[in-house]
Structure 1
Amino acid sequence: MYVHRGTISEAARQSVRPEFVDECVARFRSRRGMDPGEEEIGSWRRSWPVLLDALVRAGLGDLDVLLELSLPGTGERVDMAVVGQDTDAELTVVVVELKQWTWAVPAPGEPGMLEVGQRTLPHPARQVGGYAHYLRDWAVGGTGIQARGVALLHNAGAELLGHLRAVLPPDSPSAEFPLLGRDDIADGVPADELADRLHCRGLTPAPKDAIDRFLAGEHRPSQRALQRLADNIEGRNRFPLVGEQDRARRAILDAVKEAGGKGPGGLVVVTGGPGTGKTAIAARLMGELCRMERRNPRLLTTSGALTKQLQRLLQDESRGLVATFKQQPPSGLDKSSVVLLDEAHRAETYPEQRTSGFPASLRNLLERVGVLVLFLDERQIVRPTEGITLDELESHARESGAVMRRVDLETQFRCNGSQAYHQWVDLLFSADRTPQPWNSGGYDLALGPDPQALAAWVDDHAAQGRSARITAGFCWPWNAEAVPPLEPEVAIRWHGPDEDEHSWARPWNLRAERPVPGFPDVPPRPFWATDEGGHDQVGCIYTAQGLEYAFGAVILGADLVRRDGRWQAHPEVSHDARQLRELSPRRYLRYALNTYRVLATRATHGTRLYSTDPETQDYLASLLPGS
């Protein structure tokens, strides 16, 4: 997504028109469902013409430019991206970070960060380097894209530029990305030299269809994230984080250093909704902690599926380091240990096992280690025997004397980076709020007319090599054996426009933890979300949570229906654990809403919703376009 696409020459002519920025604001609003800030709009007016003029003077007018380009699958935006092809005809994207700074100093105690006015911000070279590395590694599945980067501080003089260049170590990865000031793009600079400074020398116009493929390409960040974790465990430090993810990583490392193995365990709580990068940050931290002395780290997850994914990628290197956390802390922990607990909202915290209102399992873990880092999203708690809240953690820290630090993540990296979609889903699956009809172009969301259409939509994506899955509420029996052939237990009947009765059925995902010989297209339970063949089965909350895929169809069962303008829960129709079925409708409602919110936020590119309840389906139809 972008607010303008065209040649550099055309954009340069347009940028001097007073109404050009207003038109870009309107596109931003239509695609994101919100307005950019006034400060950002002012920055567009002041910075775009400066850089576009320099690009034209460098003889690059025929190349394409994208203004305010959203990085694939993220909520981060690049100020400007110049797109061409290199001498080998490979698509090349030059990301440009624009700054109006005239003053900046290193932030005390935060290497790589700068104080600019009242804000602490990444060094520009580091920021643009994160964008370039991200594109190299993850755009279009990490193939076929060359990425370069440059930061332009067009108001900065030689003194500031020299200072900023000096604080970058020569061997720093960020040294690859030059810093330019006003003198570097002055009128007298020869065209070839100017093109070289802007990292665009040798680029020629790229075919339009190649740019189209880059913009529409599938993005699979979590699979890349898991692969990078393996590299980090082996000490290669190749897991770049973007924006606030990197700031969160540094805040956690600061807390680790402060704890120092003395007194009550240090507690760091990282909060963020689906797709904000919690697992990515945990992976990067684990790699770094493994290289630090006397940290004795562990990476724990409460999701067996996520643990198996990590262990498969890490193979022998994961032994003793990556595990599923249930009730007991792993062996070998001491006050030098740093434990990262991903998906902490699914930790088993049985109410009857709580002492002084705090879960015994987490208390025992916290007392054993130097620092416990919890990655938490309270709205992903889906059982009464699971989860912990921020209030409970803060209360425990006060009572125990533990030092607690909190890091909040807001930018999400799933659902094509659409903040509007995440906000819409939060409102949809809320007990007391209602969203407006969906009208944003930033994410592919629609209503599925019936299960057959959902399945056809998923099958079509799978046939084209895209990851696509169907999930459903736990409203059908799950009695199949742990080996194929699987029984089609998710069975739905409905009446179509012709008034005839139709039926559709598919099996739940395989129960087995490992592949079953002779059935290569039936992935085991932990790998249903990622492995070939998973689109032929239906997943539930326990196989989908913590993972992602490109396209997702969500079937709402009869346990959550819309009546009289509100959601109503029917735990008696659930086939989940007894602990859920025996809850009152009032208590069950929270877990049902959380469950469907999680299922609706697994897909990176597109989602289809369908309810088996006709009245609820009509309600969804009032909010969504048809598929």
Structure 2
Amino acid sequence: MYVHRGIIDDVARRAARPEFMDACATRFRALHGAAPGEEEAGSWRRSWPVLLDALVRAGLGGLDVLLELSLPGTGERVDAAVVGQDADGALTVVAVELKQWTGARPVPGHPGMLEVGRRSVQHPARQVGGYVHYLRGWADGGNGVRARGAVVLHNASADVIERLRSMVSPDSPSAEFPLLGRDDLAVGVPAGDLAERLGCAGLSPAPGEAVDRFLAGEHRPSEQAMERLAANIEDQRPFRLIGEQDRARLAILDAVREADAREDGLGAAGAHGPGGMVVVTGGPGTGKTAIAARLMGELCRESRRNPRLLTPSGTLTRQLQRLLREESRGLVATFKSKTPGGLDKNSVVLLDEAHRAATYPHQRGTGFPAVLRNLLDRVGVLVLFLDERQIVRPSEGLTLDELARHAQESGAAFRHVDLETQFRCNGSQAYHRWVDLLFSPAGAARPWNGGSYDLALATDPDALASWVDGHTAQGRSARITAGFCWPWDTGEVPPLEPEVAIRWHGPDHGERSWARPWNLRSEQPVPGFPDIPARPYWATDRGGHDQVGCIYTAQGLEYAFGAVIMGGDLVRRHDRWRARPEASYDAVQLRTLPPEQYLPYALNTYRVLATRATHGTRLYSTDPETQAYLASLLPGS
């Protein structure tokens, strides 16, 4: 998909006209379901004419240009792609990243990141390198398309360009991609030199049908791309499986082979059946993510396979992508409402955290979620990793019974694998059973009798924070989480306001107070604040212990020690849990629910928060009656 396709000479003549920009905005809205933002449309007006003028002066006016070219496997878009053929007739695509920067500097402690204004962004040579990496490995399955890249910073001075170039090591993959500034594009630069600088030297116009084939070609990963990801997964210690986890892996592979045999039989008759379904259920810490990643590595090594590892959680996706580096591009992705491109009946899709998929059960009645039906119809096997008691919003929701019923109705093969052994919380099954009982509607947990897991009640917020800070000082990962019971108005740029504020009375009956900020909202680190990690990395990076995480930050992740603050949305009254949605500051769809509908989401939320820590947990409630109830079950810390 693209916003505009044309011959450079023609597009250059029209690019500055308002009607051309309006047509591009209309096309963008049709493709993406929303109009381009004011900032994006403004960047088109300022950058496209400059690039097109340079391409014409470089003698490249007869080549094709694609503006805002989408890369289906990643959801990203290339600002502009110049398409031609090289001397031996091979189709060549030059990805061009356009920037309006007038300055940039490195972000301390974050190699490859730059400070531009108050934002932290990727070095543009790495950014365009990612596009080229994708085109080489995904366009037409990595066959027949050559790719190059260039960065055009048309407002940047020679000094800025030189600083940016100096940040790229000569032996780095990013060194392949030229960085051009204002002076590099100046009128008077010889056409051949300008074409060389733009990465387009030696290109001539490609036949229209060759460009058509490139645009119509299926985007799927090459065997080389999958081999690199498989090798990277095998090297990662967190994805090594133990006991029951490995047995689950083998059972899933058996189901995949059975689906292959069925599809082969149907294929001989010229037909395709519905995709097979495997559901893996298991509580927190049973290794669902580790199994999914390990399977992904194995499936990448199978010659005809076309796998994906998806998760509805952007935070978990970012953590996996960082761990697996560039090799994960397009193969490990966030799954929201759109089916990824390039899938077929050879594909196995591993959907981790399936309970977080946006299925809108409160809106669809008895119908099966369309987003999952579309995925199941497209692929050979869909493997869903599920924990029903981690559903924390009314827009989420998926049950084992619902999946089994849909498989039966649609004729899809179905298999269920259950994981019972958990490896988090120091392997303490007793703790998990206790937490499950505590956060059931009746809350019928018995007093905790110790065992191998460090569980206690924090007497007040100061004690809770001191416990976390003490572990952090000894080099252990420790975090504070809370229910979404305080406002969260701080924007994406620090300073962070201490919005999680608690008042209580001490033993002397004097009023005391404690406050800390929520975690940073931004997806990227903010320059000048090295001890405030970006939201996806709050659970793992330096400084995260100084902010409070919520369910959407912590779910799917773990740390060694965790402190959980229970807010006023879940309180203990008359031997039962009571929900008070009016105490929540979460989304309107949650806090406007009747109490009986809000209750399971609140119970699930605190169950999830209480099972993030591998070695120890401290609980604390801001509600005195609830705190007294917890004190009847737990020793004080």
TM exceeds 0.5?
yes
Please give the residue correspondences for 1:218-237 in structure 2 after superposition, counting only pairs within 5 Å.
Answer: 232-233=231-232
Q: Go from structure 1 to structure 2 and tell me whether the alpha carbon gap of 1:355 and 1:595 turns closer, same or farther (over 3 Å shift).
A: closer
Retained in 1: the 8 A contact 2:240–2:290?
no
Shift, 1:350, TM fit: 1.4
Counterpart-to-counterpart distance in 2, 1:426 and 1:606: 16
Retained in 2: the 8 A contact 1:525–1:543?
yes
Please state whether the residue corresponding to 2:253 is helix, strand or coil. Answer: helix
2:500 matched to 1:485?
A: no
Which shifted more, 384-393 or 546-555? 384-393
Shift, 1:591, TM fit: 0.2
Match of 1:406 in 2: 416
Please state whether the residue corresponding to 2:423 is helix, strand or coil. Answer: coil
Retained in 2: the 8 A contact 1:233–1:290?
no
Please state whether the residue corresponding to 1:432 is helix, strand or coil. Answer: coil
2:236 matched to 1:240?
A: no
Q: Deviations over 1:427-475 (max 9, x none)?
A: 0000024111001221000000011111110011001100000000000
Please give the residue correspondences for 1:251-262 in structure 2 after superposition, counting only pairs within 5 Å.
Answer: 251-260=251-260, 261=263, 262=272
Match of 1:510 in 2: 520
Q: Deviations over 1:334-376 (max 9, x none)?
A: 1110000000000000136648521111111111100000000
Retained in 2: the 8 A contact 1:549–1:602?
yes
Please give the residue correspondences for 1:55-204 in structure 2 after superposition, counting only pairs within 5 Å.
Answer: none
Counterpart-to-counterpart distance in 1, 2:537 and 2:240: 25
Counterpart-to-counterpart distance in 2, 1:412 and 1:234: 21
Retained in 1: the 8 A contact 2:311–2:317?
yes
Counterpart-to-counterpart distance in 2, 1:233 and 1:551: 28
2:616 matched to 1:606?
A: yes
Letter in 1 for 2:598: Y
Please state whether the residue corresponding to 1:358 is helix, strand or coil. Answer: coil
Counterpart-to-counterpart distance in 2, 1:237 and 1:542: 25
Match of 1:366 in 2: 376
Match of 2:287 in 1: 277
Counterpart-to-counterpart distance in 2, 1:519 and 1:236: 32
Q: Deviations over 1:71-110 (max 9, x none)?
A: xxxxxxxxxxxxxxxxxxxxxxxxxxxxxxxxxxxxxxxx
Letter in 1 for 2:574: D
Q: Deviations over 1:599-625 (max 9, x none)?
A: 000000000000000000000000000
Match of 2:479 in 1: 469
Counterpart-to-counterpart distance in 2, 1:351 and 1:606: 35
Q: Deviations over 1:18-39 (max 9, x none)?
A: xxxxxxxxxxxxxxxxxxxxxx
Counterpart-to-counterpart distance in 2, 1:318 and 1:375: 20
Match of 2:311 in 1: 301
Q: Deviations over 1:518-556 (max 9, x none)?
A: 111100000000001000000000000000000000000
Shift, 1:573, TM fit: 1.0
Q: Go from structure 1 to structure 2 and tell me whether the alpha carbon gap of 1:339 and 1:512 turns closer, same or farther (over 3 Å shift).
A: same
Letter in 1 for 2:421: T
Q: Go from structure 1 to structure 2 and tell me whether the alpha carbon gap of 1:237 and 1:554 turns closer, same or farther (over 3 Å shift).
A: closer
Q: Go from structure 1 to structure 2 and tell me whether the alpha carbon gap of 1:517 and 1:607 turns closer, same or farther (over 3 Å shift).
A: same
Please give the residue correspondences for 1:310-389 in structure 2 after superposition, counting only pairs within 5 Å.
Answer: 310-351=320-361, 354=364, 357-389=367-399
Counterpart-to-counterpart distance in 2, 1:613 and 1:237: 43
Counterpart-to-counterpart distance in 2, 1:571 and 1:424: 25
Match of 1:521 in 2: 531
Q: Go from structure 1 to structure 2 and tell me whether the alpha carbon gap of 1:428 and 1:549 turns closer, same or farther (over 3 Å shift).
A: same
2:446 matched to 1:436?
A: yes
Q: Go from structure 1 to structure 2 and tell me whether the alpha carbon gap of 1:562 and 1:433 turns closer, same or farther (over 3 Å shift).
A: closer
Q: Go from structure 1 to structure 2 and tell me whether the alpha carbon gap of 1:622 and 1:355 turns closer, same or farther (over 3 Å shift).
A: closer
Q: Deviations over 1:372-394 (max 9, x none)?
A: 00000000000011020011101
Q: Deviations over 1:43-97 (max 9, x none)?
A: xxxxxxxxxxxxxxxxxxxxxxxxxxxxxxxxxxxxxxxxxxxxxxxxxxxxxxx
Please state whether the residue corresponding to 2:605 is helix, strand or coil. Answer: helix
Which shifted more, 469-478 or 252-261? 252-261
Q: Deviations over 1:263-289 (max 9, x none)?
A: 110000000000000001001000001
Please state whether the residue corresponding to 1:267 is helix, strand or coil. Answer: strand
Counterpart-to-counterpart distance in 1, 2:443 and 2:502: 29
Q: Which runs of 4+ in 1 moved over 2 A?
A: 229-240, 351-356
Retained in 1: the 8 A contact 2:230–2:298?
no
**When the two structures are superposed, what TM-score results if normalisation uses the length of structure 2?**
0.61
Retained in 2: the 8 A contact 1:475–1:574?
yes
Letter in 1 for 2:584: S
Retained in 2: the 8 A contact 1:569–1:586?
yes
Please state whether the residue corresponding to 1:497 is helix, strand or coil. Answer: coil
Please state whether the residue corresponding to 1:623 is helix, strand or coil. Answer: coil
Counterpart-to-counterpart distance in 2, 1:463 and 1:595: 28
Letter in 2 for 1:440: G
Retained in 1: the 8 A contact 2:229–2:300?
no
Match of 1:426 in 2: 436
Match of 2:576 in 1: 566
Counterpart-to-counterpart distance in 2, 1:510 and 1:371: 37
Shift, 1:330, TM fit: 0.6
Shift, 1:233, TM fit: 4.2
Match of 1:265 in 2: 275
Contiguous gaps of at least 5 residues in structure 2: 1-227, 264-271
Q: Deviations over 1:211-262 (max 9, x none)?
A: xxxxxxxxxxxxxxxxxx9664466697431111000000000111111145
Q: Deviations over 1:304-358 (max 9, x none)?
A: 1110001112221111100011011111111110000000000000136648521
Letter in 2 for 1:609: L
Figure out how many residues of one structure are paired with residues of the other and give that number.
399
Counterpart-to-counterpart distance in 1, 2:230 and 2:368: 36
Match of 1:540 in 2: 550
Retained in 2: the 8 A contact 1:353–1:359?
no
Letter in 2 for 1:570: R
Identical counterparts, % of pairs = 78
Counterpart-to-counterpart distance in 1, 2:234 and 2:287: 21
Counterpart-to-counterpart distance in 2, 1:234 and 1:490: 38
Please state whether the residue corresponding to 1:254 is helix, strand or coil. Answer: helix
Counterpart-to-counterpart distance in 2, 1:422 and 1:237: 27
CA RMSD across the alignment: 1.5
Shift, 1:499, TM fit: 0.1
Retained in 2: the 8 A contact 1:232–1:288?
no
Q: Deviations over 1:112-149 (max 9, x none)?
A: xxxxxxxxxxxxxxxxxxxxxxxxxxxxxxxxxxxxxx
Retained in 1: the 8 A contact 2:280–2:416?
yes
Retained in 2: the 8 A contact 1:237–1:288?
no
Match of 1:446 in 2: 456
Counterpart-to-counterpart distance in 2, 1:348 and 1:288: 28
Match of 1:619 in 2: 629
Retained in 2: the 8 A contact 1:353–1:360?
no
Letter in 2 for 1:607: T
